[in-house]
Structure 1
């Protein structure tokens, strides 16, 4: 059985251009994979919004409390969705040069010491199995290439975050401009279709967690 976890981080929800393109590809994939038992989990990070980090959560996450502690329930739910996935699909805008607040909050719930990563004498060590990740980034300004007009802290940040928990197979597709033309949209659509999570690399098998 194969499973894609789709995270949507735009305030426009699944009506956003990035989410629509990602969802198109997801629906085509599901149609082709329907006989194999493949399925997807869709999580809209904006509706309903994730709960804010609480004091109880902050204390439980660093105090060695059992994973069944009620304060960790929401974190455990999000981590379970990730660990049970074979691939991760993220559609996100770039807000103020980096990830939007809702995606940062998801990260804060998923990166938990001694749960998804541990600290060793040699640095951090991810506790999750690697899996393909595709990140579709929407930005109002040009953020990559020689013509970039704004810094991009989103890409290195997400790479570091995912590597911290053990995930390094990460691809990025960028769709810049407030109103990209049809050619740019079609190019992004083609890149998504050719990405590893929708092609042969999707058959990557998870290692034991």
Structure 2
């Protein structure tokens, strides 16, 4: 079993989203002791944004070229898509940034959502080519993003549900730690709620 563990917080291991996502990985490893974890830290190794080489290569159906910094953006896309294809499940840790996903996670999405590779455009809309498999998304937010106490719009979850379904990933499980900038009691309550979610979704 291969677990692709994607993290995207600039706070690295100190972040709530990283800790939650790591907890999901540990739960999965407990169920599958031989599981192989493939880490992809998007803050430690930021991805280049898709560029002219990427767009031109798609139109030419070529393999892309190297540039001064190493891989072309299309070569990065090939690598990231292959990691995704090899994964039996995906764990994503991400903080909510300005109502939506962090820019480093958006860059990853732009690389893996690729016409003719992970989805096809048809008269009936975009059809994903990847087989569905479990995706666990650990999201942290400074305030409340759900429920009656939410005072901000949430584009994070609807966006990920829409964009990942475009490539065939529809079995999404969201695990939230909310109000992380509030008092310690609020954070303790948030983690207690997360534990209950994990008992349900990882099972």
TM-score (normalizing by structure 2) = 0.88
How many Å separate the matches in 2 of 1:125 and 1:25? 29
Contact 1:22/1:192, CA 8 A, preserved across alignment: no
How many Å separate the matches in 1 of 2:195 and 2:38? 21
Aligned to 1:165: 167
Aligned counterparts, 1:51-70, within 5 A:
51-61=48-58, 63-66=59-62, 68-70=63-65
Is the counterpart of residue 47 in structure 1 residue 44 in structure 2?
yes
Secondary structure class of the residue paired with 1:141: coil
- The aligned length equals 192
Aligned counterparts, 1:137-152, within 5 A:
137-152=139-154
Q: Which runs of 5+ in 2 are unaligned?
A: 66-71
Contact 1:25/1:193, CA 8 A, preserved across alignment: no
Aligned to 1:184: 190
User: Relative to 1, partners in 2 of residues 1:25 and 1:158: Cα closer, same or farther, differing over 3 Å?
Assistant: closer
TM-score (normalizing by structure 1) = 0.85
Pairwise CA RMSD: 1.6
Q: Which runs of 5+ in 1 are unaligned?
A: 200-209
How many Å separate the matches in 2 of 1:129 and 1:192? 24
Contact 1:21/1:189, CA 8 A, preserved across alignment: no
